[in-house]
Chain A
Amino acid sequence: MLSSCRSDLRLVLALAALVLVLAVISLMSGPASITPRQALSGLFDGQGAEGIIVRDIRLPRTLLAILIGATFGLSGAALQGLLRNPLAEPALFGAPQAASVGASFMIAYGFAGATSFAVPLAGIAGALVSVGGLVAIAGRRASLTVTLLAGLAFASFAGAGTALILNLAPTPYAALEVAFWLLGSLEDRSVDHLLIAAPFLLASWILLALNARAYRALTLGEDAAASLGVDLNRTRMMVVVGTALGVGAAVAVAGSIGFIGLVAPHLVRRWVGSDPARVCLPTALMGAALLTAADIAVRLIPANPNATAIELKLGVVTALIGVPFFLAMIFRERRLLEGSPQ
């Protein structure tokens, strides 16, 4: 057990180094090309054009990618631990979609500027309804079929809600703004976006990480976990609120981004094994690395400069990678899924 702690530490350090390297690359990436040295000097002394580009434009974007990636990774790991299911992920449960309904309502009707607390609060409210409803419906046995069907229902309903908002948007410009925002992006995010999202994201990490031991005990099922002293109602409540805070705030500043919570824990398991408690910290770092890498990719892949969107959208890229990955996972586990009575 001690040796496993040491190998976990090595993995955590390696992933932290990876996040750091990706962060520097992210500071260098964009329309104006900047060398690593210019990026670092711009970051630390803030002088000249490089200083403005790095500090005011690329740093908030990079930090948001790290924080949001870590949040999605950790909420995936937490939901998988709570529901004892490697296919659990906020996007499959309609959480980002439901958060989008709340946030896009605020944006479309101009109730809130993009940097007001009203957008994340509306996003959190939406995510809370979907994750809370899902955990309530999944119930004691948390059967895979019930969970996924309920998730599908929430996602579809949220999709309809968003479509309704687009449909009834007061102006075509508002509809267009919401439509692009829904695709998910970190382009042109400022320090203000960082400041309104960060408190919610940090609160979500604390709530989700505090239950790591409970996720491990839940390996034995709910009754055995309760008999080991785990307060199941408290754990459920903390995971629901933690996921909603994280996903709601992330969607409010970055739009809909999915599948990090599915991919990150899966990648980490090949090194740390299946223990749902040991997966948490490396998964958060892996999520941060994945989203930062995806956000670098959208800046490097040339998109049509005549189109309205100059960059590829981040949510599009994560879905294009995440969905085939999800299908591959289903394919690999299908015998287990078919054979399972749950």
Chain B
Amino acid sequence: MSAILQAQGVGVRLGGVPIVNGADLSLRTGELTAMVGPNGAGKTTLIRALAGLLPFEGRIAINGRALAEISARERARRIAYLPQGNVFHWPLSVADVVALGRTPHADPFSGITADDRAAVVRALTITETETFATRPVTTLSGGERARVALARALATQAAVLLADEPTVSLDPRHQLVVMQLLRDAARAGGAVLAVVHDLALAARFADRVLVMDKGRIVADAPPGEALTAERIAAVFGVEVIPVDVGGATVPVASRAI
């Protein structure tokens, strides 16, 4: 599996305060990478820098080319970004929202192409949102909105998908559905990075886990190696009990230290 997005020595300052320091990571095609870390560890800041939305020190490259060298449009075609919160300001139809994912491919002189249409239909189908494709997005439930937001990001058909807390505020069933969709997107040939708060979900679904603490990446390994009881205790300040779920050992927080 080849690395498609690489970050070396990435640092980000917000208002002069260093939030992320010396982050090295690479995202590989076919892999779902989970990023975990306590609140304020710098996860959102790092993922926004990777998406090209924040100025940073160091180097971020996609397909070997530095982000700074490529146009915003080209970057948008290669990196899809799903921000926190699934915001929809206007009551557009679900299909229109998902079609927004095609914005980076749009040409000012041509309308919607067959490729665009196919990508939108595919994104609606795999996220099982096609049944309410004509409904205004603002009338949907939280779980439905999360899937529509994900469908919008998938419709871009970018090589890299960066998702910031895609499972937050979802019920257990929808958390599993969304994690499975992210893993499917990786298996279908994407490189996926998702910020996840639930350590058990990260351990179960991710191929690799990045642990962030105080602005640094302190572990980058398969779940079993990254999420050891010692590391979780040191980073999150909780004791965990290992629980066997469908053949995978996942950590479940039991007590604050």
Contacts and interface: CB of A to CB of B under 8 A. Distances in A.
Interface of A: 1-2, 5, 84-85, 213, 216-221, 223-224, 226-231, 273-276
B96 A275 contact: yes
Contacts of B191: none
The residue in A2, A220, A275 that gathers the most chain B C-beta atoms within 10 A of its C-beta is A220
A227 B96 CA distance: 17
Contact of B89 (A2, A5, A84): A84
A227 B87 CA distance: 14
A71 B97 CA distance: 28
Nearest to A224: B83
B90 A84 contact: yes
B66 interface: no
A228 B89 contact: no
B103 A231 contact: no
Contact of A224 (B87, B92, B112): B87
A213 B92 CA distance: 14
Given A1-B112, A84-B89, A218-B89, A228 B75 contact: no
A260 B177 CA distance: 47
Contacts of A218: 89
Contacts, number: 80
Interface in B72-90: 72-73, 75-77, 79-83, 85, 87-90
Contacts of B97: 219-220
B106 A227 contact: no
Nearest to A223: B83
Interface string B76-119: 11011111010111111101110111011010100110000000
Nearest to B81: A227
Given A219-B89, A224-B82, 13 more contacts: A84-B89, A217-B103, A219-B97, A220-B87, A221-B87, A223-B83, A226-B72, A228-B76, A228-B101, A228-B156, A229-B73, A230-B72, A276-B90
Contacts of A217: 100, 103
B76 A229 contact: yes
Nearest to B99: A1
Contacts of A229: 71-73, 75-77, 103-104
B19 to A, nearest CB: 16
Contact of A274 (B52, B75, B91): B91
B199 interface: no
Interface in B135-179: 136, 152, 156
The residue in B53, B89, B103 that gathers the most chain A C-beta atoms within 10 A of its C-beta is B89
Contact of B90 (A5, A227, A275): A275
Given A219-B89, A220-B100, A227 B51 contact: yes
Contact of A275 (B51, B92, B103, B111): B92
B90 A274 contact: yes
Contacts of B52: 227
Contact of B100 (A2, A85, A219, A226): A219
A270 B7 CA distance: 48
